[in-house]
Structure 1
């Protein structure tokens, strides 16, 4: 990702994955809709393509990948470990999958990690949660087939009885993947284990051995419960929050922004309303605080925390995704939130680009790397509207 490419906006999408590695947010997969009159056809985003957003230049690049390219997928999860992005499970044109792929972000080459025995893999699923701890990859929950024929020692499966003839349902299983041995392991959890669920959000708290789970859908209910998982002992704790709690939701975004602060955005309510609210959770005070932000609903979007301190909300759906006659309004813009203003360096870049008519003739005097950054930033501003680039909010 070091070669400068033409600035290309990513297509609108929902159910995609995104990870931040350094100054880069990498976006892959998901789906959008082709609307022809009253006919709406779902289609997966081109799987051999990734879109990369660079936070310091606010610039998109479209890059082609090679190797064992995964099929088009929605509802997968992605985790960054070192210079690799792992994409796990999800839903494809052939149904739910439990395959795992690794993308080398330098060579842009995919590797399919082949595990042949069903009993050595988690059950096929989507809308689960995944994260990294001590260079291992964890997954929890999701919606898919029964775990009986797959890697299973602990966890429950709850059948979706509302759909006639369904063989799928929700689970609360925790599995661990070791990239060194390229193998999955089953776990036995202790404590107050969350109910089976999907479309929840779980985040590993920065610089700690704790992960936090919020919400998700269990049966016909969208939840507002909060749990903490000790990753060394695999012990779950249900958290009794002091004060106000966000309303129950699924398909929301959740990320860690400091050692003690977690950020929650959007989702889909029990009343099937897209949500545009933002919250901070203080893990020390055990309190939620709602932020005053412009209401821009998003569900099945991604939320990443970048190296420059940006909280990046990308894509997702801004209308009722389950209503049969409603246009889902898949998004392609970025909403940016910050706990503090931009760095002086980034403010200077903004100022130089803003006054390019009078300053561009002098750019040659700058170091080559800085010239390249300014050129990329200028391309990004020249090829995308403010709506596509998104809005910025500094959180006070």
Structure 2
């Protein structure tokens, strides 16, 4: 029942409570979004606002980061480009908000994404520049797909003071090494793991 989505592939989906959401995967100029009530099994389409909606796309990711908000990142745009934009969709207010982030030089398509602590979204892998070859017989992937192995972390809400301190100490372990021994073992181990993770995310110097 309700306005059902058109047939599509390479779309994204996520759950908010007892409702499932799908978006993209169709050749629409702007990113559409549908909701399926999993109790009444009725569809609902969120009308595209006259401004502020993201570009239509496929092969992107969508994650729920709260009871009301969905996070959408990257994908292959209907303009043929691999995208690097991140968006928040508030299902209660029915509003799109573009999220500023530090990974604008890292477009992604065919990646994976999961929810981390403090409503962070963790993105891994994918391709930074998907190329598709089309001829009269078949659609083929280009030989080189620009596959990625780095981890991108998207902050979707303000951090607590405790999280900010952990990140700062973890990012400067040598500076605080004498003081780390004063901490309880559980907190010390947590910061050690944070430091190890942050060190792997630093860009490798090139000659």
Relative to the length of structure 1, the TM-score reads 0.44
Q: How many residues align?
A: 193
Residues 214-267 of structure 1: CA deviation (Å, up to 9, x unaligned): 1114xxx36732211101011112221333322221101111122222111111
Which of 181, 197, 200 is the equivalent residue of 1:380?
197
- Cα gap change, 1:351 to 1:275, in 2 (>3 Å): closer
CA distance in 2, matches of 1:329, 1:201: 22
CA distance in 1, matches of 2:81, 2:25: 14
- Please identify which structure carries the higher helix content: 2
What is the match of residue 136 of structure 2? none
Alignment of 1:1-150 (within 5 A): none
What is the match of residue 109 of structure 2? 299
What is the match of residue 232 of structure 1? 39
What is the match of residue 49 of structure 1? none
Q: Which structure has the larger Rg? A: 1
CA distance in 1, matches of 2:23, 2:172: 45
- Cα gap change, 1:222 to 1:334, in 2 (>3 Å): farther
CA distance in 2, matches of 1:358, 1:252: 39
What is the match of residue 214 of structure 1? 23
Would you say 1:201 and 2:9 are equivalent positions?
A: no
What is the match of residue 31 of structure 1? none
The answer as to whether partners of 2:151 and 2:201 remain within 8 angstroms in 1 is no
CA distance in 2, matches of 1:377, 1:371: 10
What is the match of residue 284 of structure 1? 92
The answer as to whether partners of 1:241 and 1:287 remain within 8 angstroms in 2 is no
The answer as to whether partners of 1:211 and 1:228 remain within 8 angstroms in 2 is yes
CA distance in 2, matches of 1:203, 1:374: 31
CA distance in 1, matches of 2:113, 2:146: 18
What is the match of residue 130 of structure 2? 320
Q: Which runs of 5+ in 1 are unaligned?
A: 1-189, 389-396
- Cα gap change, 1:198 to 1:381, in 2 (>3 Å): same
CA distance in 1, matches of 2:171, 2:87: 32
Would you say 1:274 and 2:91 are equivalent positions?
A: no
The answer as to whether partners of 2:171 and 2:195 remain within 8 angstroms in 1 is no
Residues 128-178 of structure 1: CA deviation (Å, up to 9, x unaligned): xxxxxxxxxxxxxxxxxxxxxxxxxxxxxxxxxxxxxxxxxxxxxxxxxxx
- 1:327 deviates by 2.5
1:365 counterpart SS class: coil
What is the match of residue 262 of structure 1? 70
- Cα gap change, 1:258 to 1:374, in 2 (>3 Å): closer
1:308 counterpart SS class: helix
CA distance in 2, matches of 1:310, 1:239: 25
Would you say 1:333 and 2:167 are equivalent positions?
A: no
- Cα gap change, 1:352 to 1:266, in 2 (>3 Å): closer
Runs of 4+ in 1 over 6 A off after TM superposition: none
1:191 counterpart SS class: coil
RMSD, matched Cα: 2.4
- Cα gap change, 1:196 to 1:354, in 2 (>3 Å): closer
CA distance in 1, matches of 2:170, 2:82: 36
What is the match of residue 113 of structure 1? none
- 1:283 deviates by 1.5
- Please identify which structure carries the higher strand content: 1
CA distance in 2, matches of 1:381, 1:227: 37
CA distance in 1, matches of 2:172, 2:55: 45
CA distance in 2, matches of 1:227, 1:314: 26
